Amino acid sequence: MKTGLDFLLAAKRCEIDGLQRLAFTATLVDVSARLVHQLQRERGLTNLYLGSMGQRFAEARAAQIGASRQVEAEWRAQFGRVDTGTAQAGHGARLFSRIAYVLQGLDGLDALRGQLDAQAWDTDRATEAYARLVAALLAVVFEAADSATDPEVSRRLVALFNFIQGKEFAGQERAVGAALFARGQSDSARQQRLLHLIESQERCLELFDSVAPPTARALWTAPHSSAPLAELERLRRVLYTAPHGAALRPELSQAWFDVCSARMDAMKLVEDRLTADLRALCGEKIAQAQAELASFGALSAQAAPDPLVFYLAPADPNGPAAPGATQGFALPLDRSVLELVHDQARRLQAMGDELEAVRASLNERRLIERAKGLLMAHRQLSEAEAHKTLRQMAMNQNRRLVDVAEALLSMAEVLPPR
């Protein structure tokens, strides 16, 4: 017959199994972040190539495509290790759907590159195409963050997701600005797009700062990370202050791409630190859980517990003794198992409370994105226009953005069809 200790051991093995899955998830997140970085650079060079009417940057773009393909092969190899034969509770269906969507995009990537080689697509369409693939990859990272069951790991994943998302907005800014400079002409619609991208970057970096570990925050605010900002701000002013249709200097396209790339490379260093720390944290937690499992197992060799210890021991092992209990009444095994049960219950409760708090930012983000999608569909707005509309509604009503988004979604069923 199984005892309480048997089930405690089983619970600890389940915890170790979950931590090992999280460690593997950290590996998947790492390779996804590296693929995103390569695709972001490929997108920027592609816009330089298209903006120059194919006269410049062809060699640099070809070399970058080779680098992207190399990391893509690694991404496919790592995700090929995912066990699809066993149903995973909760997030399994969503995660597998996200991965399937990414694979669909990757399978069509060479066909997209062929269209861009022939300059059949303009810079706006190219930017949107790469942004769609990057968004699909980021959805995998989001799903990983949403599925983590350890609050400390979840917090690291939330920080990483928001930082990668902020870096993607920086990558889109690089691509849009590169196309403007390469084309040699200012455009008011693209200027507004760039301003929206800067605002989006700042929003994501604020969320990162609120949950990131001190080491990652310190790395991001280090002097070498902020050094490119002065030159970037100068070139931003060139782009944003030029009247619609005014001439821009095409030779600045390279300077713009280089300074944006320097900033994104600095961001990549922070990404690398976050993923390395995440994997190390998973390793530490696995080692700690395995040590606890071994100590649990040692208890099985001790004497059998007193059958009345459940009723005589204090409800809280740190609280006062139960009425009628005498000092030294319980056998060593009785006290050990009861302490383990109480410790495990308190720890699980604390983890649940903390995990709920950490996931709040992810839930808010999901609501805001859904509300933006609703506005885009029913009012024919761009993503930037939908976000601006939501913010204006929140300001007018003196409410939080997420509260406005939730109220808007609650009215989705009564909105007129498109």
Answer whether residue 291 is part of any domain: no
Domain shared by 119 and 249, yes or no: yes
How far is it between the farthest Cα atoms of the chain?
91
Question: Which domain does 159 fall in, by range?
Answer: 4-286
* CB burial of residue 303 (10 Å; 0-12, 13-18, 19+): exposed
Domain shared by 240 and 324, yes or no: no
Structural domains counted in the chain: 2
Higher local confidence (pLDDT), 366 or 87: 366
Answer whether residue 184 is part of any domain: yes
Please compute the mean of the pLDDT values over residues 77-102 and round it to a whole number.
78
Q: What local confidence, expressed as pLDDT, does residue 207 receive?
A: 84
Q: What local confidence, expressed as pLDDT, does residue 394 receive?
A: 80
Please compute the mean of the pLDDT values over residues 122-132 and round it to a whole number.
93
Does residue 416 carry a pLDDT above 70? no
Does residue 253 carry a pLDDT above 70? yes
Q: Which helix (H) or strand (E) holds 94?
A: helix 92-107
Domain shared by 306 and 265, yes or no: no
Domain shared by 251 and 312, yes or no: no
Q: What local confidence, expressed as pLDDT, does residue 325 receive?
A: 39
Tell me how far apart the alpha carbons of residues 21 and 26 are, in angstroms, rounded to a whole number.
Answer: 9
pLDDT per position as a tens digit, 385-409: 787 788 778 877 777 777 888 777 7
Domain shared by 120 and 220, yes or no: yes
Q: What local confidence, expressed as pLDDT, does residue 105 receive?
A: 95
- Decide which of 262, 286, 310 is a domain's last residue: 286
Does residue 225 carry a pLDDT above 90? no
- In 3D space, the residue among 292, 282, 286, 325 whose CA is nearest the CA of residue 306 turns out to be 325
Average pLDDT, the chain: 81
CATH classification of the domain holding 379: 1.10.10.10
Does residue 303 carry a pLDDT above 80? no
Which of 46-55, 98-107, 222-231 is predicted least confidently? 222-231
Tell me how far apart the alpha carbons of residues 156 and 278 are, in angstroms, rounded to a whole number.
Answer: 6
- In 3D space, the residue among 144, 171, 151 whose CA is nearest the CA of residue 29 turns out to be 144
Domain shared by 275 and 347, yes or no: no
Domain shared by 317 and 257, yes or no: no
Q: What local confidence, expressed as pLDDT, does residue 35 receive?
A: 97
Q: What local confidence, expressed as pLDDT, does residue 18 receive?
A: 81
Domain shared by 211 and 269, yes or no: yes
Answer whether residue 171 is part of any domain: yes
Answer whether residue 406 is part of any domain: yes
**Reported confidence tier of residue 374, pLDDT bands at 50, 70, 90:** confident
Whole-structure pTM value: 0.75
Does residue 76 carry a pLDDT above 70? yes
Answer whether residue 352 is part of any domain: yes
Q: What local confidence, expressed as pLDDT, does residue 326 receive?
A: 37
